[in-house]
Structures are given as C-alpha cells and as structure tokens.
Amino acid sequence: MRHMLNYLYIFYSFVFILNIIHVFWQNTVLFTIIGILGMMMTVISFPRSDRVFKILGAVLLGAGVFFFISSEAAVKDIPLFFAGNISILFLISMLPWMNSVVKAGRYNRLLQSLIGSNHRELGVLYARSEVTMVSLAAFLNLSSATISQDLLKEKLKQVKTSVRNNFILMVTLRGYSLALLWSPLEILLATSIFITGVNYLQVLPWMLGLSIIGITLDSLFAKILFRNESIPEDDVGSKAPVLDKQKLTQFIVALVMFLSVVVFLGNVIHLDFLFSVTIAIFPFAFLWALFVKRKRSFINIGWPTWKWKTNRLDNFIVLLLSLSFLTESLNESPYLSYLQDPLMSLEGSPLLIMLFIQATFLILTLLGVHPIATMGIFGGVRELLTGSFPPVTLTILLSACAIATVPSAPYGLIVTITSVALRMNPYQIVLRNLPYTIAFGFLGIGVALLSLLFY
C-alpha cells in the first residue's frame, strides 16, 4: 500500500485531465464522475493529512452532512458537491513547475544580489528588502522568504537578536503578503476571482496600487521603528553579491509575458482566470527553460518535485473538497438564511459589510481556519454579496482581507517556516504582525470603497 501511494500523482492527474475535458464539454455525467473520484481522493488523503487539517476537514464534513440532511438535495447529488474545487487543486498541483524553472535558471540568486546591499541603516535596508521581496515573490513564492531569511540572518548576525528577529519577520512576511496581492499564482486571489467571475485585468491595477501603497506605508513605519538601529561598521565591509542585470531583465520580461499569456487566454480565448493560469504554467515554464538553455535542469528539478508535491496534496484535498461539500450543501439548505441574515441586516451599509468580512477572516484565521475555507464560506453567499458590490470591488475586498491574514495565521506555512528559522514561538510572530494585518485589512477596505466610484 505504501508503495502504491507513491503513484498517487497518476490518479490525481487523471482526475485533473477529466476536469480539463469538463471545461470544454459541460456534461453532468462527467462532472458526477469527477465528484466520485474527488470523494475517493478525500478518503485516501484524510489519514495522511496533518492533525489540524483532519480536525478542520471533519468539522467541515460534519457541518456539510448536517446541512445536506436539512436540504431537499438527493443522495445522487453528493458527488456533484465534491467536484466544485477540483480546479483549485489542479492549480496547486501545477505550481511546482513554475518554482522549478526559477530554480533551474538560478533566478533565486537574484534575491541575494538585490538584498545584499552595503547599507548600514536598518530603515533603508528594510525598504530595499521589502521591494525585492514583493518583486520576486510573485514567482519564487515561499522560496523567496526562505532565501531572504537565511541571507538576512547572516547579514544581521551582529545585530541584537530581538531587533534582528523583529526585522526579519516583518520584512519577509509582510513583503510576501504584499506580493500575493497581484500574483497570478496566488490561490487566494485566484479563488476570489473564481467566486466573482471578474476579469483579472480589471483587478490587476487596483491590486498593484494596493501593493504599492502597502509597501510605502510599511517602509515608512519601519524607517521610524528602526531609525536608531544599524549594522555594526565592522560587519558592513563584506561585499554584496554582484547583480546579474541580464537575469534580472529576463525575469522581468518573463513575468510580463506570463501575465500577458494569462490575459490573452482570458480575454481572447474566454477561459476563466483560474483555468487560464493553471494550463499556462507548464508550457510557459518549459518554453522559458528552453529559452535560457536550462531544459535538462528544469526537467531534473521539476519532475521529481512535481511528483513529490502532487503525491502530498493531502492537506489541500481534505480542506478544499470538504469545503466544497459544505458550501454546496449550505446553498441547498434553509439554514443559509442564518448566514445571510447578518449580511442582509447590513444591506445598504457597504462599509459595515466590509468590516464584517474583514473581522470574519481575521477571527477565523486566529482560530486556525485557513483563509481559503473562509473564502469558500463567502462563496456560498456570492449572490448576496454580488448584489451589494460590483464584482471588481468584491474581488478587491475578499482577496485583500484574506491575504492580510497571511502574516498572522498561527498555523500558516509561511509563519511556521519563519518560526523555525528564527526559533520563535509562532504566536510571538502573530502578535508582532497583528497590527499590520488589521491595518492591511482597513487599507483593502479603503481601496475597495474607492473602486465603488468607478463601478
């Protein structure tokens, strides 16, 4: 059995191929088959998932069963309820290919050369580091955080431990979250677009603007916070890595081209955003590897990485497919009105609805609920929300409030990685970033309110 589990990627790939076929051939029987296979995926993944996800999955499934029993849905509808989030799983499974071409082309070294300046003042170094994180994390994703943390630990080794740790956890987690706002590879952004059905190109300028405002304000705050802190003079003499301008140019061109491909698939071919990003990743990464003459490295890194990560989608499968069952069951249940009532009572008060959404994301994240799960709950009342806000405004609101919680998610992967790297309690990191998360959420609400003037 253990040997067979090493080949789960074949089974999962078969399900994803069926999902591709369903995009172009809408068929209820095919969708039912996908749902049945999704149920099998959940059964396989449940015992293999982490304890937190087992508990969360059990709660979601239990609530889903309760709502299903209270609804008028038939037993034959159950597979359909499990098929809804297969497309999101498909995107997650493809992400390693983009990271692989970045590693194969050695673009991760760009982060080292861009951050590795000889500035002594921590306030100046913070701004430079955060801009670099935001620029490169769109493709490097989590690897940008781990690389920068290792680099900054070495660079700030002579700085007082409390100051060093505070600096590193702030710049990496906050910079990472600001990059997620506009990255086409970010699941939370893709899910919010999936819920609202808006065009990515319409949202991109707003998310970039929000990211720029966030970088500016956070850098100014850090400049004040670290105004009296600097690297000891003896430690500044070490040479910074030389910036490879050719690789930087290649990386920027590749980023622009990938965004252009996604926009083309959405606007010309008329595919939805989530699917456009998913099917564009591998062909684009492969052609990029060919262009920079790193095809062999790309395959050698990408193939085993993709197999390993696809075989270990357990946490995402349990979360997303259980969530799909809950959301669809809730939509068929009379209890949906209990979730709608608080929002309906706020009808005509867009600001109060926005604050309610922000508070829900924050509270549930602190309780250990993944923001994707919260996003799915709001997806269950999408008709009510789209009746209150234009799609672009709602996308800005949902994605900003969800992504704002990333630096303050006690069980989130980026917080866990940081706690291990800095040997800190995750809750210490959460407390340090909580004011930023709240301010980030308010900033997202402000931009969402501004967008109401245009839509």
What does the domain layout of the chain look like in residue ranges?
Answer: 1-82+313-333, 98-194+203-298
State how far the Cα of 272 lies from the Cα of 192, in Å rounded to an integer: 12
Q: Write out the two tokens for 282.
A: 């591998």
| Amino acid (one-letter) located at 334 | P
Give me the pLDDT at residue 355, please: 93
245-267 vs 108-115: helix axis angle to the nearest 10?
120
SS3 (DSSP) at 1: coil
Q: Which two tokens stand for residue 194?
A: 């999936």
Tokens standing for 229? 């802190």
Q: Which residues have C-beta within 8 Å of that of residue 343, sequence separation ≥ 6?
A: 353, 356, 381, 384, 385, 388
Which two tokens mark 124? 């100046």
Q: What are phi and psi of 107, to 5 degrees?
A: -75, -15
Closest among 275, 322, 271, 288 to 56, alpha carbons compared: 322
Give the integer Cα–Cα distance in Å for 449 and 441. 12
Question: Are the beta carbons of 309 and 96 closer than 8 angstroms?
Answer: yes
How far is Cα 227 from Cα 247, in angstroms, rounded to an integer? 33
Distance CA 337, CA 342 (A): 9
The whole-angstrom separation of Cα 168 and Cα 154 is 11
pTM for this predicted structure: 0.79
- Whether the CB-CB separation of 192 and 402 falls below 8 Å is answered with yes
CA distance 118 to 240: 7
Q: Is 196 helix (H, G, I), strand (E, B) or coil?
A: helix
Count the alpha carbons within 13 Å of 26 in the hemisphere toward its beta carbon: 0
pLDDT in tens, the chain (455 residues): 667 778 999 999 999 999 999 999 999 999 999 999 999 999 999 999 888 789 888 988 998 999 999 988 899 999 999 998 898 899 889 988 988 888 888 776 776 677 665 666 788 888 888 888 887 777 766 667 777 787 788 778 888 888 888 999 999 899 999 999 988 878 889 889 988 888 888 999 999 999 999 999 999 999 888 888 777 765 544 555 666 778 888 888 888 888 888 888 887 888 887 888 889 999 999 999 999 899 999 999 999 999 999 998 998 899 889 988 988 888 788 887 776 677 777 777 888 989 999 999 999 888 877 788 788 778 877 787 888 889 999 999 999 999 999 999 886 778 877 887 788 888 888 999 999 999 999 999 999 999 998 87
Only one residue has tokens 């500044």, namely: 236
109: which residues sit within 8 A by CB, 6+ positions away? Answer: 241, 244, 247
Among the listed residues 38, 28, 60, the one whose alpha carbon sits nearest the alpha carbon of residue 330: 60
Helix or strand (DSSP H, E) at 443? helix 426-451
Task: Tokens for 59, please give them.
Answer: 């709660």
* Dist. CA 132–CA 115, nearest whole Å: 7
Total length of the chain: 455
Distance CA 184, CA 65 (A): 34
Residues 6+ apart with CB under 8 A from 391: 196, 197, 198, 455
Count the neighbouring beta carbons within 10 Å of the beta carbon of residue 78.
Answer: 19
- pLDDT reported for residue 237: 45
Secondary element (H or E) of residue 31: helix 28-45
Q: How many Å from the N-terminal Cα to the C-terminal Cα in the chain?
A: 55
Measured N-to-C along each axis, helices 245-267 and 200-225 cross at an angle, to the nearest 10 degrees, of 140
